[in-house]
Structure formats: C-alpha cells, structure tokens
C-alpha cells in the first residue's frame, strides 16, 4: 500500500481534527502518502481530494469541527454513487480509506468494502450511540460543554428560585443527557432508554421543595420529548416558575477535551496500522481503555447499550 485517504462524514464532532492529524502523521511515518477527501462522500464522488503533508495538519489538534469539512450525501446511498466514488479513488491511486463518522457513515464504508475497497472506520459523533466502543470521538467534549452550561444555568436558577429544563442533543440516544445530568447534579434526567414518568419528576420536585431546595434542573434528551413541552407540563402541574433552555449546536463545537484529543490520536494511528496490516471493513473502538477492531457488520447490527447503572446512580444521588 502506497497511498491512503481520509474523510469526515455526518455530523461533525470535536476530536475529528486530532484523528485526521494522527492518520496523516502515522501514515507518513509509515511511508504512505495521505490524501484528504473534502465534504465526506460527496467529495469522494466528486474527486474533491487534497494532498495532506506533515505541516497541513499542524495547529489543528486543539480545534473543533473538521478541516476536511463534512456533508450528508444521499447519492452515495445508491450503488451508482458508490461505484462513482470507487472510480475516483482508483483514478487518484488511493488503495485504502479511513472514514471518520457515525453509523450512517459506516454503512457507506461497509458498502465500499463489499465492492472490494479496503475501508476502516473511526467512530466520530457526539452522541456516543455506537455499539462495540465505550466512547465515540466528541462525546466527552459535548458532555463538558453541557455541564459548563448547566453550571451557569444553576447560578441564575438559584438566584430566581426557578426550575430549569435543559434540552440536550443525542438523536435517539440518552448518553449526553445521562452523563451531563449526573455530573451536572440534575434533579431528574429524561432519556429514551428509560420510561418517561412525569409523575416521578413532579414528585421529586415537590420533595425537593419540602426540604428547602430553591431551584431544580431537569436534563432532557432531544429524542424523548421537546424540552418546551416538558417545561410547560411542569409549570402547569407545580406552579413553579419554569424556564427552558435548548442547548443545540454549541454541543457540537469547541476545542476538544484532552480525552477526545487522546482518543482521536489513538484511533487515527490504529486505523492506519489496520490498513497497513491488510484489514478492511472494521471500525476502531475503545474497549476497557484499549484500542479494538470490530467488523462494521458486527458494530452496526448491535444496539449501543447505555449504562443503566449510571442512570440508577444519578437517581439515587439526586434525591
């Protein structure tokens, strides 16, 4: 193998740049030429390729977003689109591809592997919604962004003796809500993986009031309920002065945490090593603090398991 390429696809996530840097530097260390494909699978099909040298990935380890840009591309879901992408890769002399993205991006990567092109995946999504890896790139930073916001909201919530509902991202997964709810000291956490129980939320709010609590924070995952709806229901049922904050895309940006920089560096290097060893169709993961390689088919056929013991712990600690 003499030349490989890397692309980012789907929603961006802090730490993607650290992974791109690691792919380029590990690749060059191993005497491989590395190309960057811009705008995800759209760029793959259009031939939007740029050579990446050692210096081109300098000064990016601490930056959020992705220097390669990202995109969603419907055309790549068709066999015609995939074959067009394959032709562009071969025309550019590329022999292996590293895809940084979420489960959708890995479905595309699996298709390329089935068409005979060696592809390796790096899980990059703030949602942490992939199976076979304990963490995805960007999740830790997103959780830190949320607790920073929750800490600030707590100040004003205390001053005004208000109840706040904070809606966080996560598509169909409650990981961001769970981890930020526990570490931000929320009174209740609403996630898709646990039954929504408004009576329980109200009961906890009233219990808190009885023991002198002057404010409360409820973290809600976007995949369950609209935060505004929950806020309205709480205000109606309790009469508490309630406000709602939808954090939105600030969770996707910002300088990656040390953990995400480390994860991106380790995963990027591991992906290059796997390609060099002749592996294809696998996702790099982190399992019990060690790098792992899992076939796409296996990772995509399983559902990510949210740690329900953490959910129970959060409930216990917020009584």
Where in 9-68 is the site for ligand ADP (CB under 6 A)?
9-11, 41
Please select the residue that binds ligand F6P; options are 7, 126, 186, 234, rule is CB under 6 A. 126
Please tell me whether residue 192 binds ligand ADP under the rule CB under 6 A. Answer: no
Helices 79-91 and 103-114: angle between axes, nearest 10 degrees: 70
Residue 170 binds which of ligand F6P, ligand ADP, none (CB < 5-8 A, kind-dependent): ligand F6P
Closest CA relative to residue 221, chosen from 186, 173, 151: 173
Provide the terminal-to-terminal Cα distance of the chain, rounded to the nearest Å: 58
- Residue 175 tokens read as 């990981």
Catalytic residue, candidates 12, 103, 127, 140: 127
114 interacts with ligand ADP by CB under 6 A: no
Residue 171: closest CA among 202, 200, 142, 201: 142
Provide, rounded to whole angstroms, the least separation between the CB of residue 61 and ligand F6P.
22
* 127: annotated active-site residue: yes
Select from ligand ADP, ligand F6P, none the partner in contact with residue 76, using the beta carbon and a kind-dependent cut-off of 5 to 8 Å: ligand ADP
Which DSSP letter does residue 161 get?
T
DSSP H or E run through 284? strand 282-287
Considering just the CA atoms, what is the radius of gyration of the chain in Å?
22
Strand pairing report for 119-123 and 282-287: parallel
107 makes contact with ligand F6P (CB under 6 A): no
Query: C-beta of 22: minimal distance to ligand ADP in Å?
Result: 19
DSSP 8-class letter at 196: -
Alpha helices in 161-188 (DSSP H): 175-183
Single out the residue of 96, 94, 107 nearest to residue 49, CA to CA.
94
Pick from ligand F6P, ligand ADP, none: which does 101 bind, CB < 5 to 8 A by kind? ligand ADP
Among 170, 181, 231, 264, binds ligand F6P (CB under 6 A): 170
Indicate which single residue of 30, 171, 213, 243 sits in contact with ligand F6P (rule: CB under 6 A). 171
Q: Is 76 in the site for ligand ADP (CB under 6 A)?
A: yes
Q: What is the DSSP string of 220-265?
A: EETTT--HHHHHHHHHHHH---EEEEE-GGGGG-SPPPHHHHHHHH
To the nearest whole angstrom, how small is the minimum distance from the Cβ of residue 4 to ligand ADP? Answer: 19
Tell me, residue by residue from 252 to 281, as one string, x for binding to ligand F6P by CB under 6 A and - for no binding: x-----------------------------
Q: Which of 13, 307, 102 is nearest to 189 (CA)?
A: 307
Q: How far apart are CA 3 and CA 33, in angstroms?
A: 5
Task: Please state, in angstroms and rounded to a whole number, the distance separating the CA atoms of residues 48 and 19.
Answer: 20
Tell me: does residue 77 bind ligand ADP (CB under 6 A). yes
Query: Is there binding between residue 268 and ligand ADP (CB under 6 A)?
Result: no
Q: Output 81 or 268, the one with its CB closest to ligand ADP.
A: 81
Minimum distance, C-beta of residue 64 to ligand ADP, in the bound complex (Å): 16
Selection from ligand ADP, ligand F6P, none that 104 binds (CB < 5 to 8 A by kind) is ligand ADP
- CA gap 99, 97 in Å, rounded: 6
Q: With contacts defined by CB under 6 A, how many residues of the chain interact with ligand ADP?
A: 17
Per CB under 6 A, the segment of 58-66, 120-128, 145-153, 302-310 that binds ligand F6P is 120-128
Interface contacts to ligand ADP, rule CB under 6 A: 9-11, 41, 72-73, 76-77, 101-105, 107-108, 111, 125
Interface residues toward ligand F6P, by CB under 6 A: 11, 102, 125-127, 169-171, 222, 252
Q: Could you give the residue numbers annotated as active site?
A: 127
């Amino acid at each position: 193998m003499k030349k490989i390429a890397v692309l980012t696809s789907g929603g961006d996530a802090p730490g993607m740049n650290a992974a791109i840097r690691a792919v380029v530097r590990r690749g060059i260390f191993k005497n491989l030429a590395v190309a960057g494909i811009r705008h995800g699978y759209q760029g793959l099909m259009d031939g939007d390729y740029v050579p990446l040298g050692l210096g081109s990935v300098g000064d990016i380890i601490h930056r959020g977003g992705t220097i390669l840009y990202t995109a969603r591309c419907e055309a790549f879901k068709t066999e015609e689109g995939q074959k067009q992408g394959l032709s562009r890769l071969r025309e550019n002399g590329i022999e292996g591809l590293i895809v940084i993205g979420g489960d959708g991006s890995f479905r595309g990567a699996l298709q390329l592997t089935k068409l005979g092109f060696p592809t390796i995946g790096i899980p990059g999504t703030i949602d942490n919604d992939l199976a076979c890896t304990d963490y995805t790139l960007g999740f830790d930073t997103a959780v830190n962004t949320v607790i920073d916001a929750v800490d600030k909201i707590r100040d004003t919530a205390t001053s005004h003796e208000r109840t706040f509902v904070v809606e966080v991202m996560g598509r169909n997964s409650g990981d961001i809500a769970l981890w930020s709810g526990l570490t931000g000291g929320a009174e209740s956490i609403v996630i898709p993986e646990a039954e929504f129980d408004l009576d329980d939320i109200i009961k906890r709010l009233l219990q808190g009031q009885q023991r002198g609590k002057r404010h409360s924070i409820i973290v809600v995952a976007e995949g369950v309920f609209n935060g505004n709806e929950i806020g309205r229901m709480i205000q109606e049922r309790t009469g508490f002065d309630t406000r709602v904050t939808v954090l939105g895309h600030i969770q996707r940006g910002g300088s990656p945490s040390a953990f995400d920089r480390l994860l991106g560096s380790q995963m990027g290097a591991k992906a290059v090593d796997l390609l060099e060893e002749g592996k294809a169709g696998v996702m790099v993961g982190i399992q019990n603090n060690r790098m792992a390689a899992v076939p796409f088919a296996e990772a995509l056929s399983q559902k990510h398991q949210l740690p329900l013991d953490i959910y129970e712990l959060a409930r216990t600690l917020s009584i």
